[in-house]
Amino acid sequence: MTEEVQQTLSSHEGTRRSHKVPGLGVEIAPFRIPFHRRLETFAILQWTLTFLIGGFGLTFFSLYLLFTSYYWVSFLAYTWIIIDRWTPSQGGRRFSWSRRWKIWEHMRNFFPVELHKTADLDPNQNYIIAYHPHGIMVMGAFIHFGTEATGFSKLFPGIKPSLLILRGWFFFPFLRDYVMLAGICDSSKDSIDYLLSKNGVGNAVCLAIGGAREALDTEPGKHRILLNRRKGFIKKAMEHGVSVIPVYSFGESDVYDSTRNVPGSKMRKLQEFLMKFTGFSLPIFHGRGIFNYTMGIIPYRRHINTVVGKPIPVVKNPNPTRTEVEDVHTIYVDALKALFDEHKTKYGISEDISLEII
């Protein structure tokens, strides 16, 4: 644990002097708290709003502008989306300076979030980083691979991470260019192929393997991941002959209180229908608020520890059979379980708890 994170944890413990509203059960945040905590709350709020309503909010705003004297702003924005439509699947448009914005450090300190490595990575190789679990908003993945707040480039010199997200994000005006500043690309097959074969070496394609669907199975205190049928990333690794790196983020599933609707239930069927229609999952969750610790959209201040495992070498096979893919997938699953079991007790998980794979 770094000295900065220790100070952050001590600050969290030493300043939480809240009180509850009688009869309501609402825990109100103290009025007088250190200014850095205000900054941390602002940092996480801006990203939470970006994640939850940024895309649709900016889309509705751009449509509104069409009926004002600023219609030309929307016209230019949608024209740009058409002109620039291939960039998200061709390496994106990353800027190192934006990955080092101070706001990301405040966002890191909010939880706080730490990145731990178990092996060096060769900058002359390309990799697929497989991130687990997805959680509600993949907070850890963004902080680690979309910013330099946890020092990725210092831990893994010469490696350039590209976090991949749903392609739908890149149809939202203004927001698409904002997320691309962080080196984020779309998660299409074409995008993965480009990063692993046409963008030089030292590339790390970062995928939240469980995806949006896994968010529907997220529960605090549970270590449940969607992996049994997720084999596309293994196939891509085989096609390009790149190593796969298992990553497990302890605490990712705990930053929100969420309700899992059992597969087959009416609510789960509705969630899956909406996900099929929009491409985005709609889990039922809540966190804390800006001025209270009981209810809101801001995540809880809970420590996230992300462990980057050792690379699993994969032999190049341009046309792997289903059996060959399953064999490598089995090796990957065993390595991920071993990573989880090796490090779980360090982060407050009982020795008898196992990783649940569905």
Three state DSSP letters for 183-219:
CCEECCHHHHHHHHHCCCCCEEEEEECCHHHHHCCCC
Cα 134 to Cα 131: distance, rounded to the nearest angstrom: 7
**CB 12, CB 301: distance < 8 Å:** yes
Which pLDDT value is given to residue 2?
60
pLDDT tens per residue, range 94-134:
999 999 999 999 999 999 999 999 999 999 999 999 999 99
Whole-angstrom Cα Rg for the chain: 21
Instruction: Give the global pTM.
Output: 0.90
Which pLDDT value is given to residue 23?
55
**DSSP string of 151-190, one letter each residue:** -HHHHSTT-EEEEEE-GGGGGSTTHHHHHHTTT-EE-SHH
**Size (the chain), residues:** 358
**CB 44, CB 136: distance < 8 Å:** no
Range with lowest mean pLDDT among 221-225, 255-259, 305-309, 336-340: 255-259
Cα 112 to Cα 6: distance, rounded to the nearest angstrom: 9
**CB 283, CB 309: distance < 8 Å:** no
Average pLDDT over residues 14-31: 64
